[in-house]
Structure 1
Amino acid sequence: MLRQTDAAPAASAEVLRAHADELLPVYRRELADLVAIDSGSYSADGVDAVGAWCAARLTALGFSVESHETGVVDGRRFGRVVVARRRGTGTRRILLFAHMDTVFADGTAALRPYRESEGRAYGPGVSDDKGGLLAGIHAAEVLVRAGYDGYGELILALTPDEEIGSPASAALLRAVATGVDAALCLECARENGDVVIARKGVADVRFDVSGRAAHAGVEPERGADAALEAARLVLDAHALAREGDVTVNIGVVAAGERPNIVPATAHMSGEVRAFGAEALEQTLRVLERRAAAATVAGVDVAFRREAFCPPLEASDTASLFTAAREVARELGFDLDGASTGGVSDANFVAARGVPVLDGLGPIGGDDHSPDEWLDLASVPERVALLAGLVVRIAEG
């Protein structure tokens, strides 16, 4: 059962679900408001408009709210990070986090406005992640309505740039997550209702190949073919993939200047993904050794590691997944977990040593496409699940 201390009023599964059901019409209206705001990752003003809306909503629920500038990254300003805090009577500090940005350009909200059809909501960002961040706000309201404050501190952190790897907000989110007892990521659930219990880490890599130019018809033997070395590198890199664990993708290859010149240079960019930190690091070391052992005479290869995101491993989520399944059963449904190759801000939070569970928003699908949808019937159960999980964590 969802137990409470003597100082905290009852917040049973039935009570939490009843409040979540009552709030569904409000959720639908507010989701329409949020989807109507263009908030692509590079639209700082749009993201800040979403942030201002969320800040006002959370302030009305009794949270103290701060808006943090993220500064300028590579000459570009990004939106602010919104951090809302509410003190309770207990000791455990719990973080709920979501992102306010979408992948869609300005003007998309007007071209594809929010609509509902056959129990689903549609619109840019309706699932990823406006539906999720709104579920977090509603879970907080459910707890307020139930009179529950048995946590030490309930924190909501809303970030502006998750869809492009969080270049401006990752450090701030890690700082907010430091020292919390548990963190719940509000990315929406998988299409079948699964929460996310593991995510691959990802490392971006670059190869710069240097050879020697020569006339391709008159004296090709005097050249050192950088394109040939690049082609062999692509094949060797992709051969490192291990089904179900490691993937390697060389997504960009460029070489040469003219068809009648032996290419003197080639450049390759790609990524490595793996569920385990050890497997990710091992694959990167193999690529580095391969780059140092060029197969074409006269060619040198420089290897560089670029952006890096650590994996969210199943060990990071196990305890919270067990608790979430127990709460779900009390609410009358079964909950399963899925692993995915995509990354989220949960990867960064888990790297701080914080227990994390991901995919705790409502059920949605077709993210990043014109068909993106959210299952409205799933909203009350997922909001109640979030609220119930906060109670379970707070009670130890």
Structure 2
Amino acid sequence: MSFLELPFDLEDMIQRLQPWIETESPTFDPAAVARMVDVVAYDAAAAGASLEVIPGRLGCGPSLRVRFPHPDQGKPGILVSGHLDTVHPVGTLGQNPWRRDGGKLYGPGIQDMKGGNFVALEAMRQIMRAGLNTPLPVTFLLTPDEEIGTPATRDLIEQEARLNKYVVVPEPARPDGGCVIGRYAIARFNLETRGVPSHAGWALKDGRSAIAMMARKIPQIEAMTTEDCTFSVGVIHAGQWVNCVSSSCFAEVLSMAKTDADLERGVLAMLELSETVDQVELIVTRGVTRPVWNPGQPQDMALYDRAADIARRIGFDMGQQPSGGGSDGNFTGAMGIPTIDSTGVRGAGLHTLNEHIHEDSLVERARLHAGMFMEFA
């Protein structure tokens, strides 16, 4: 039987995807991520896989390693690298509930990237049910911390990638349905301003506001943005009492850099912002960084060409281009391991309360993954 003949059932897939979406799993809630691991682990076991739950660290939830039986188990094969965490806090289902409307399926995390993980697993489920053997062993590694830069599981992902021949990352497909071959660096920075507290009513002039210092710095930071290196302040925490001059303020900055040289310049520019002005200190420290996965590398393009041929036989064209959004594909691609990213479902609104996928992409992308698993050798 060819992968083109596997009997994917859209209605059945939608029914089994629903618990994945209704099990909310924000990164900062390890218990919620653990509940998501349980949901996926059951489905993987029912598909015939063996499981290993890897304990969490650094305040993050557990990871799940899924291995499908194979005569060459232990030899280099295909690694499916995905994440189970989302940016949506528990309770988001109240604002973006699971629903089916006009050919679209809605819910937090459905596009990024539960839908992609689901279709990849469904591909192996159908292969196993058909009694077929993939040329190479297939392993899934599903992690809990991608949305915060993968601080807890980067070593785990890189080690698993070293043991395999190819890496498939079912992050959401690009808006045109294409995949990603190459990603720019993503660097995070932590900022802290330390001021001098005072009563904001009767002793205002004695204080030095940490909030005011941070507010002045934000436009300066974002003004450093160029086409090749961007800067965005996305998180700020400060203040507890309106009648107190703030003595501390915290912020987080995300930077995208197209090349290693752009990354180095961006890091230097951020670190040079540290200073003390009128008794208020600004401290900049570098956080986690995703390395540049240079686009157009021969090993990645060769893998893409094979996947694009599979897509054409299914009935759609799958282009490719580099992306400014980071993923765990940054790590494996930068290691030189042939990697194809963003093979997951088509949709829109990721990281928003309108996150959804196109339901017809479930079978399309499950068949794409089945083709890759059956033909990558």
TM-score range with shorter-chain normalisation?
A: 0.7 to 0.9
Distance in structure 1 (CA, Å) of the matches to 2:15 and 2:212: 58
Following the alignment from structure 1 to structure 2, what is the Cα–Cα distance between the partners of residues 31 and 314?
33
In structure 1, C-alpha distance between the alignment counterparts of 2:157 and 2:331, rounded to whole Å: 8
Question: Which structure's CA Rg is the greater one?
Answer: 1
State how 1:67-216 maps to structure 2 within 5 Å: 67-71=53-57, 73=58, 76=59, 78-89=61-72, 92-109=76-93, 112-206=96-190
Q: How far 1:291 sits from its partner (Å)?
A: 5.1
Q: Secondary structure at the match of 1:388?
A: helix
Structure 2: 5+ residue stretches without partners: 198-207, 240-245
Q: Which residue is equivalent to 2:226?
A: 242
1:352 aligns with 2:359: no
1:242-321 paired onto structure 2 within 5 Å: 242-243=226-227, 245-250=228-233, 269-288=252-271, 303-315=284-296, 317-321=300-304
Q: Distance in 2 between matches of 1:270 and 1:308?
A: 12
- How far the C-alpha of 1:323 sits from its partner, in A, is 1.9
Structure 2 CA distance for partners of 1:33 and 1:250, relative to 1, 3 Å = closer
**1:237/1:312 Cα in 2 relative to 1: closer, same or farther (>3 Å)?**
same
Task: Could you tell me which runs of 5 or more consecutive residues in structure 1 were left unpaired when the two chains were aligned.
Answer: 1-10, 214-223, 257-262
Match of 1:26 in 2: 12
Q: TM-score, normalised by structure 1?
A: 0.77
- C-alpha change, 1:237 and 1:17, in structure 2 (3 Å) is same
Indicate conservation of the 8 Å contact 1:65/1:82, yes or no.
Answer: yes
Number of the residue aligned with 1:361:
344
Q: CA deviation at 1:85?
A: 4.0
1:372 aligns with 2:360: no
Q: TM-score, normalised by structure 2?
A: 0.81
Question: What RMSD over aligned residues (CA atoms) do the two structures have, in Å?
Answer: 3.9
- The equivalent residue for 2:324 is 341
Query: What is the alpha-carbon distance in structure 1 between the residues aligned to residue 35 and residue 237 of structure 2?
Result: 40
8 Å CA contact 1:275, 1:312 repeated in 2:
no
Inter-CA distance 140–248: structure 2 relative to 1 (3 Å threshold): same
Letter in 2 for 1:156: F
Aligned AA for 1:313? N
Equivalent residue of 2:112, what SS?
coil
Deviation at 1:364, TM superposition (A): 1.4
The total of aligned residue pairs comes to: 370
Corresponding letter in the other structure for 1:311:
V
1:314 is paired with a residue whose SS is coil
Describe the superposition over 1:2-37 as per-residue Cα deviations: whole angstroms up to 9, x where unpaired: xxxxxxxxx5xxx32331x53322211111122222
Distance 2:223 2:156 in 1: 37
Change (3 A) 1:272 1:62: same
Give the superposition deviation at 1:272: 2.1
Cα deviation for residue 335 of structure 1 reads 0.8
**Structure 2 residue 40 is the aligned partner of structure 1 residue 54:** yes
Shift of 1:334: 0.8
Aligned equivalent of 1:36: 22
- In structure 2, what is the Cα distance between the partners aligned to 1:391 and 1:186? 16
User: More deviation in 375-384 or 166-175?
Assistant: 166-175
Q: Equivalent residue of 1:360, what SS?
A: coil
Identity of matched residues, %: 28
**Partner residue in 1 for 2:307:** 324
- Deviation at 1:64? 1.7
Tell me, in whole angstroms, the C-alpha distance in 2 between the residues paired with 1:147 and 1:110: 41
Deviation string 1:269-288 (CA, Å, 9 cap, x unpaired) is: 52321122232123223444
Alpha-carbon distance in 2 for matches of 1:60, 1:297? 64
Question: Matches of 1:32 and 1:251 in 2, distance apart?
Answer: 31
Report the AA paired with residue 23 of structure 1: D
Q: Is the 8 A contact 1:331 1:385 kept in 2?
A: yes
